[in-house]
Structures are given as structure tokens and as C-alpha cells.
Structure 1
Amino acid sequence: MPDLTPAALRTAVERLAPARLPALTQHLFEAATNAQQTQSLAPLRAFVHSWAVFVAIERHPERAARLRALERLVDEGERDPSAAITEIRVIQETAEAEAGL
């Protein structure tokens, strides 16, 4: 896991999922703007949390693929999503623990 800094997370995203760099850049811009406007670090903390979890998941391609499959299943709305939602939570909680959050 990289350090939980915007620069380190950006480098990790660049390596793991370069197509997501524009989203990371936009999120960081919005977080910095909101932090300045509200005089609070909460938006920057949310940015770090979000992207640290993303990196922790993407570091394991099988886990990332499973998460995407579960999210598709929930989005389709054709079956009871309870089991999928539970598994999504487990994946996210595991990633949070790996990231030290």
C-alpha cells in the first residue's frame, strides 16, 4: 500500500488503473476547493479514504473484478441484492483495513 498522501495515491492509481486518473484529479480538485471554502480538512480526508480503498482493491485484480461483478449485479436489479451488498461491504472493509483506515 502506498502512503496515504494525494501524490502517493496518484502514483498508485497511475500504475494500477491509469484510466481513473482524470477522476482522481477531479476529486482532488473538488476536495481541495471544498476544504478551502469550509476551512475543514474533512473533504481531503474523504478524498484520501476513497482513493486508498480504491487502490487497496485494485492491488488485487481478482478482488477488483469480483467487486465490479457484484456492483453490476446490484445495478441490474433483477435479483435480491442482499448477498451481493454484504459481499461488497466485506471487500470494502478488507480494503479499509489493508489501507490502515
Structure 2
Amino acid sequence: MSSQPVGTDGPLVPMPQLTPEALRRAVAQIAPSRLPEFNDHLVSATTSAQRTSSVGSLRAFTDHWGTLVNIYRWPERATRFLACENLAADPDSDPEAAAASEVGRILRTAGEEIGTRAVSGAGSTTRMRNTSWGGVVVRVTWAG
């Protein structure tokens, strides 16, 4: 893990390297209930990489879980993210679109902080895709 400071106002854990084992250790510490999902996703990404002879699925895996770890390691951001996720997933909620937009903003910010391929702004070559985070479908912009 990196040598970033960890304190009461800071992150719960330092940001780990974007490797499956380092991310697994971080998930076990800050979001242990998500370990089965992590393991299933890793198996799926590895199988896809073998089938396609491409590391793209493994890169997507580390981007996804690195972003998630970077959200969950900051308690205030994690609380806001989870609240917006729950609100956006509720079909009876009036501010559903605003919550989904906030989930997307948090994902983009956390991804940019760790150097994933999430981008925003004019002049960049991008592609859009919908991704599901905790049952919420969010449109995320990625570098092409």
C-alpha cells in the first residue's frame, strides 16, 4: 500500500497498489461484505482475459475495485456514496436522477484520483458505457 497518511480525518487505509491481491486486502479491511463479489468478479475477469487473449477485463477489474476502495476508504465519501446509491435504486424516490448523478460524480472523482481511465472534459476521445454499482446503473465516461 502507498505511504499516504492515515488518521481520524483521513482515509481508513492507505490506497493500495492496483493489483488483485492488494485490492483484496483493502476490501477485506474496509468492505468485507463485498469480498464474495470481489472474488466472483476476479474469476470472471480472469476467464474473460484467457478467452479473449486480452488484459482489458483485468484492467477493468482493477479500475472498478480500485475506484471502489478509494471511495470506501474515506468514511464521509463512502457514507454519501451509499446513501445516493440507495436513493437512486429506489424507484419510488423523487430525487432518483440527482442521486444517480451524484453516484457517477463520486465514481469519476475517486477514479481520477487513482489514475483510472475515467475522464471528463472537452477534447478527449471517450466512449460511454453503463455500469452497475450496487444495483444502480450509472453512465461512466472512459478514455477510448
User: TM-score when scaled to structure 2?
Assistant: 0.66
Q: Which residue of 1 aligns with 2:40?
A: 26
Higher strand content, 1 or 2: 2
- CA displacement, residues 24-73 of structure 1 (integer Å, 9 cap, x when unaligned): 11111111011001111111011101100110000111211111111111
Alignment size in residue pairs? 101
Contact conserved, 2:41 with 2:61, CA < 8 A, in 1?
yes
Q: Which residue of 1 aligns with 2:104?
A: 89
Give the match's secondary structure for 1:3.
coil
Q: Which residue of 2 aligns with 1:99?
A: 114
Displacement after TM superposition at 1:85 (Å): 2.1
Displacement after TM superposition at 1:9 (Å): 0.6
In 2, Cα distance between the equivalents of 1:17 and 1:88? 18
Higher helix content, 1 or 2: 1
Quick one: percent identity of the two aligned structures? 47
The code of the aligned residue for 1:25 comes to N
Q: Which residue of 2 aligns with 1:43?
A: 57
Moved more, 73-82 or 63-72: 73-82
Displacement after TM superposition at 1:19 (Å): 1.6
In 2, Cα distance between the equivalents of 1:73 and 1:80? 7
Taking CA–CA contacts closer than 8 Å with sequence separation of 6 or more, which of the two structures ends up with the larger relative contact order?
1
Counterparts in 2 of 1:57-72, with a 5 A limit? 57-72=71-86
Contact conserved, 2:16 with 2:26, CA < 8 A, in 1?
yes
Q: Structure 1 unaligned runs (5+)?
A: none
Q: Structure 2 unaligned runs (5+)?
A: 1-14, 117-144
Displacement after TM superposition at 1:81 (Å): 2.2
User: TM-score when scaled to structure 1?
Assistant: 0.92
Runs of 4+ that moved beyond 4 A: none
Q: Which residue of 2 aligns with 1:5?
A: 19
